[in-house]
Amino acid sequence: METVKITQTRIKFSGLFDLGEFYRLLYDIIKSMGYLISESKYTHKASPGGDKVELEWNCFKKVDDYAQFHIFARALITDLQKVQVKVDEATATKNKGDAELELTCSVVTDYENRWETNPISKFLKGIYDIYFYKSTFDTWVTKITSEMHTVENEMKSFFRMERFM
């Protein structure tokens, strides 16, 4: 198995938002692109000055028998407080705090370790990667980068930030 890190992005926001909607939207976007999501970490620590929430997801999607996409999502929300805000004529409960979302995308080749069983297979894998799989790999790099930017743009939209085009 070989993991090739492609790119990384980070979104920072400070202000009002809905934590439940943040979580659901991030989950729904990634899931709608066909990824399996494994939550490796979720902590919520309460404190008088503001809560701290941290989550980490490993998201995988099989693209063919040799490669899969991996998006690692890490969110850190600090100084989280519930506040009452006026929406139209009514009041609503929102969250106020600092949110940071980090996304890292990678392409994992030979994810089932079929080619790593012996030195000859490993050598053939190297030749396959360099001479036969290069153009396909380049296509996958473009595709996963686009998918990561889709997640980034949707989350920026959620926070009402300027989006990457």
**Pick from 21-25, 27-31, 55-59, 156-160: least confident:** 156-160
**CATH 3.30.70 assigned to 2-158:** no
91-149 pLDDT, tens digit per residue, is 888 899 999 999 999 999 887 777 777 788 878 877 877 788 788 889 999 999 999 99
3-class secondary structure per residue, the chain:
CEEEEEEEEEEEEEEEECHHHHHHHHHHHHHHCCCEEEEEEEEEECCCCCEEEEEEEEEEEECCCCEEEEEEEEEEEEEEEEEEEEECCEEEEEEEEEEEEEEEEEEEECCCCCCCCCHHHHHHHHHHHHHHCHHHHHHHHHHHHHHHHHHHHHHHHHCCCCCCC
59-69 pLDDT, tens digit per residue, is 999 998 888 99
